[in-house]
Amino acid sequence: MTKAMGETLERLQAVIDDRLAAGDAGASYVANLAAKGRGKIAQKLGEEAVETVIAAVSEDDTALVGEASDLIFHLAILLAARGLGWDMIAAELDRRHGTSGHAEKASRPQ
């Protein structure tokens, strides 16, 4: 990840954290979505994942970048609603670094 990407994700997380803390569902999409519960956040994340897949196979790069951005945004909301952040995702990815995908998947509990 470039330094700029890391800064962008950190800034995004800070904005989401602030909006969740304020809890003003009337003024914030993030707070409004969070007020509906984790299930609704997860549903929205799933919708964005499907839209990203559709863009990947049938739309141009601009559409894919837009949908991927929506997907990451909604993932960030879900993580924040669970009290998790990008630092935890980075730590897990670092833990997996150097391990083949097949070996990593085989090591997971079934």
What pLDDT does residue 89 have? 94
Counting Cα atoms < 13 Å in the Cβ hemisphere of 84 gives: 12
The vertex-13 CA angle with 47 and 82, nearest 5°, equals 65
Q: d(Cα 49, Cα 54) in Å, to the nearest integer? A: 9
* Average pLDDT over the chain, rounded to an integer: 94
What's the pTM value of the predicted model, to 2 decimals? 0.88
What pLDDT does residue 99 have? 85
Q: d(Cα 64, Cα 56) in Å, to the nearest integer? A: 6
pLDDT per position in the chain (110 positions), as tens?
A: 577 888 999 999 999 999 999 999 999 999 999 999 999 999 999 999 999 999 999 999 999 999 999 999 999 999 999 999 999 999 999 999 998 878 778 887 88
11, 20, 3, 13: which is closest to 89 by C-alpha?
13
Contact 76, 66 (CB under 8 A): no
Contact 44, 33 (CB under 8 A): yes
What pLDDT does residue 38 have? 97
What pLDDT does residue 60 have? 98
Contact 69, 76 (CB under 8 A): no
Q: Report all structural domains of the chain as residue ranges with CATH numbers, in order of start.
A: 3-89 (1.10.287.1080)
What pLDDT does residue 1 have? 55
74, 37, 32, 33: which is closest to 52 by C-alpha?
74
What pLDDT does residue 3 have? 76
